């Protein structure tokens, strides 16, 4: 049926280079009415560059774009919008101090007409919300919305502008499984009404669930195109990395002594986001402790505590048997805590610093990089090159500004920076978010290797498959409360889901 549908988008031999780096090399693809095409590839394969050319953020060096049979003027997002193309970026572009309705209207009317036709605008937004299952309060301030609700606003923005082609760049990277399923329900309704979707993702089980067809890029070129019903996750992974791929699994082993312990620790709530509620937790040498839970249930408070950004309001933080009374990020790093933060853009890097500067952010005072107050930039650049080579960071070189990297390559640099000193305690907060299957296998292998050499690893993840595959012991966090520890293999996904929803805590309280 898809073969007979109208071709709504045609990219013909698109090429784009940034200096010596060829991001897109003669890429061609088509999209049909009501079709979902998944665009797959390793980090740095050229997916986001291609979509930025389509949306007018970049101008191709060669090739052409046709939308509904008409050539699309290059380099003008306004022309892309007028042609019916909408794009929802991986990192949302919303004004947090404005309401949902104001964000949706922003840019659709002139300054002089602002405020006119508000009733009609509200009615259209209400109809779109109802028809596509995108429920969000139009008068709510965006800054107070959950991540899933913000994504609904981004999609509503595109649909409000009458988008007929929707580009979704890593749409589930910051969503819980429940929010991701709600997104898929929306997409199924939208494609049934004729919307066409380009879906960029590294989560192959989601690709199999939503896409009709997959186009695979490697090193900026199309290396494969398959119908989803004619392949499986293993086949897609092999196309992406150029060979068979097996994700690592951690074998059971006896843990060592507790390197860090929380005794009945509490922290303040942050608005509607709960703090920790009398949390007791041990991080033991040679053990991966997995922390599961729906985003916004206290994981951020725990991560801040371990990384030196906060102190307990109640209870005690114990490090190698001694209670901690003074605690800062510098002290955490000095005490052998390796930090892989959840937000690589705002917590893990400085956008306008180059890779060398970002590589030494946490160690620039060390004797290797500093002497008598002067930076040894040659040593710093050598260190950055070591990380780039060891972690396969796709970039022109250590002088590249980190904001020019793909999200996955940025994450690999941050991982290399954290792991290079051989930390004894590792905070891995969403360490593989936005990474391709090959990079995921590498990162997870590094965490297992760190555990095997005696490090205590706290793995915070919203991916239950990852938690269950890597963790020696699993805790669940809900509303700032921490579950008991569950040994590897003793809990099913469904049972962990009950704890994530808070039901396990209620049952434990009733039993007590």
Residue 417 CA to residue 333 CA, distance in Å, equals 11
DSSP 131-161: HHT----TTSBGGGS-HHHHHHHHHHHHHHT
Identify which of 369, 410, 413 has the alpha carbon closest to the alpha carbon of residue 390.
Answer: 413
Over residues 501-506, the mean pLDDT reads 78
Determine the pLDDT at residue 97.
85
**C-alpha closest to that of 480 among 265, 329, 322, 190:** 265
What are the pLDDT digits (tens) for 249-259?
778 888 999 99
pLDDT classification of 432: cutoffs 50, 70, 90: confident
Q: What is the pLDDT of residue 29?
A: 94
Average pLDDT over residues 266-293: 92
d(CA 213, CA 451): 39
- 245 touches 438 (CB < 8 A): yes
pLDDT at 324: 92
Rounded mean pLDDT of 470-492?
Answer: 93
Quick check: 248 pLDDT over 50? yes
**Of the listed ranges 6-20, 200-214, 246-260, the one predicted with least confidence:** 246-260
What value does the mean pLDDT take over residues 278-288? 96
| Residue range(s) in the chain whose domain bears CATH number 3.40.50.300 | 2-241, 258-336+422-511
What stretches of 360-396 show up as alpha helix (H) in DSSP?
A: 377-390
**Among 226, 234, 305, which residue's Cα sits nearest to residue 266?**
305
Specify the pLDDT at position 493.
Answer: 82
Report whether pLDDT(113) > 70: no
Instruction: List strand residue ranges (DSSP E) for 431-487, in order.
Output: 456-460, 473-478, 481-482, 486-487
Per-residue pLDDT at 471: 94
Q: What angle do CA 147, 150, 152 make, to 5 degrees?
A: 115
Note the pTM of the prediction, 2 decimals.
0.71
Contact (CB, 8 A) for 122 and 137: no
- 259 close to 319: Cβ distance less than 8 angstroms: yes
Residue 1 has pLDDT above 50, yes or no: no
b vs e for 159-183, b when ≥16 Cβ sit within 10 Å of the residue's Cβ? bbeebbbbbbbbbbbbbbbebbebb
Band of pLDDT at residue 181, cut at 50, 70 and 90: confident
The answer, yes or no, to whether residue 98 has pLDDT greater than 90, is: no
Strand 36-41 relative to strand 258-266, pairing = unpaired
Instruction: Judge whether 424 and 454 are in contact, CB under 8 Å.
Output: yes
Two tokens at 504? 């396990």
Higher pLDDT residue, 440 or 66? 66
Percent of the chain beyond pLDDT 70? 93
pLDDT number for residue 213: 95
Residue 507 pLDDT greater than 70, yes or no: no
Of all residues in the chain, the percent with pLDDT exceeding 90 is 47
The DSSP bridge pattern shows strands 425-429 and 473-478 to be: unpaired
Q: How far is CA 419 from CA 56, 340, 427, 450, in A?
A: 38, 9, 11, 8
Model confidence at 349, pLDDT cuts 50, 70, 90, reads very high
Ranges 8-17, 183-192, 497-506, most confident: 8-17
Domain 258-336+422-511 superfamily per CATH = P-loop containing nucleotide triphosphate hydrolases (3.40.50.300)
Section 150-165 average pLDDT: 86
Nearest 5°: phi and psi at 84? Answer: 100, 25
Name which of 106-120, 136-150, 326-340, 406-420 the model is least confident about: 106-120
- What does the pLDDT average to over 84-96? 81
Q: What is the mean pLDDT of residues 414-437?
A: 88
pLDDT bracket for residue 2 (50, 70, 90): very low
Q: What is the mean pLDDT of residues 57-73?
A: 95
User: 503 vs 81, which has greater pLDDT?
Assistant: 81
In angstroms, rounded to a whole number, what is the distance separating the alpha carbons of residues 233 and 471? 23
Q: Does residue 240 register a pLDDT over 70?
A: yes
- CB of 39 closer than 8 Å to CB of 215: yes
Rounded to the nearest 10 degrees, what angle do helices 437-452 and 407-419 cross at?
10
Helix (H) or strand (E) holding 232: none
Dihedral of the CA atoms 397, 401, 402, 404 (nearest 10)? -90
For residue 91, the model assigns a pLDDT of 67
In the predicted structure, residue 110 carries a pLDDT above the cut 60 = no
Question: Does residue 418 have a pLDDT over 80?
Answer: yes
Q: How many Å apart are CA 106 and CA 129, to the nearest integer?
A: 17
CA gap 512, 260 in Å, rounded = 28
Q: How confident is the model at residue 281 (pLDDT cuts 50, 70, 90)?
A: very high
Quick one: pLDDT at residue 204? 86
Whole-number average pLDDT of the chain: 87
* CATH code for the part of the protein at 2-241: 3.40.50.300
Q: Rounded to the nearest 5 degrees, what angle is found at the Cα of 360, between the Cα atoms of 431 and 397? A: 85
Helix and strand counts by DSSP (H, E) for the chain: 17, 23
* More confident: 92 or 352: 352
User: What is the C-alpha separation between 366 and 408, in angstroms, rounded?
Assistant: 27
């Amino acid at each position: 049926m898809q073969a007979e549908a109208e071709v709504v988008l045609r990219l013909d031999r698109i090429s784009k280079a940034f200096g010596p780096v060829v991001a897109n090399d003669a890429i061609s693809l088509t999209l049909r009415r009501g079709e979902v095409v998944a665009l797959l590839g390793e980090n740095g394969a050229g997916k986001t560059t291609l979509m930025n050319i389509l949306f007018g953020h970049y101008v191709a060096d060669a090739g052409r774009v046709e939308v509904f049979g008409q050539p699309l003027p290059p380099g003008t997002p306004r022309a892309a919008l007028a042609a019916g193309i909408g794009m929802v970026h991986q990192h949302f572009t919303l004004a947090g101090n404005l309401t949902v309705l104001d964000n949706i209207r922003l840019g659709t009317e002139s300054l002089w007409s602002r405020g006119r036709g508000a009733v009609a605008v509200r009615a259209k937004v209400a109809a779109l919300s109802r028809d596509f299952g995108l429920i969000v309060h139009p008068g709510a301030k965006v800054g107070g919305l959950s991540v899933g609700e913000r994504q609904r606003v981004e999609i509503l923005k595109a649909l409000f502008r009458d988008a007929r082609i929707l580009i979704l760049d890593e749409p589930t990277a910051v969503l819980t499984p429940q929010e991701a399923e709600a997104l898929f329900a929306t997409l199924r309704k939208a494609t049934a009404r004729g919307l066409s979707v380009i879906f960029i993702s590294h989560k192959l089980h989601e690709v199999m669930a939503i896409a009709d067809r997959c186009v695979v890029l490697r090193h900026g070129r199309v290396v494969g195109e398959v119908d989803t019903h004619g392949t499986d996750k293993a086949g897609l992974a092999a196309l992406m990395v150029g060979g068979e791929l097996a994700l690592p699994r951690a074998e059971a082993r006896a843990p060592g002594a507790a390197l860090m312990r929380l005794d009945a620790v509490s922290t303040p709530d942050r608005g509607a986001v709960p703090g920790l509620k009398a949390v007791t937790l041990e991080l033991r040498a040679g053990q991966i402790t997995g922390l599961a839970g729906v985003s916004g249930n206290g994981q951020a408070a725990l991560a801040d505590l371990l990384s030196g950004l906060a102190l307990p309001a109640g209870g005690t933080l114990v490090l190698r048997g001694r209670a901690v009374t003074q605690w800062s990020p510098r002290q955490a790093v000095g005490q052998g805590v390796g930090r892989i933060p959840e937000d690589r853009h705002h917590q893990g890097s400085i956008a306008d610093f180059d890779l060398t500067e970002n590589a030494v952010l946490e160690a620039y005072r060390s004797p290797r990089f500093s002497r008598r107050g002067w930076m040894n930039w040659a040593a710093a650049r050598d260190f950055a090159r070591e990380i780039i080579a060891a972690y396969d960071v796709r970039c022109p070189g250590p002088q590249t500004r980190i904001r020019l990297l793909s999200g996955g390559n940025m994450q690999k640099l941050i991982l290399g920076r954290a792991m290079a000193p051989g930390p004894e305690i590792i905070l891995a907060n969403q360490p593989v978010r936005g990474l391709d299957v090959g990079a995921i296998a590498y990162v997870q292998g590094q965490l297992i290797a760190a555990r095997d050499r005696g490090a205590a690893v706290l793995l915070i993840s919203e991916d239950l498959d990852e938690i269950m595959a890597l963790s020696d012991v699993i805790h669940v966090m809900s509303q700032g409360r921490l579950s008991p520890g569950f040994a590897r293999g003793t809990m099913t996904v469904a049972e962990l889901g009950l704890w994530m929803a808070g039901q396990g805590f209620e049952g434990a309280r009733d039993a007590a």
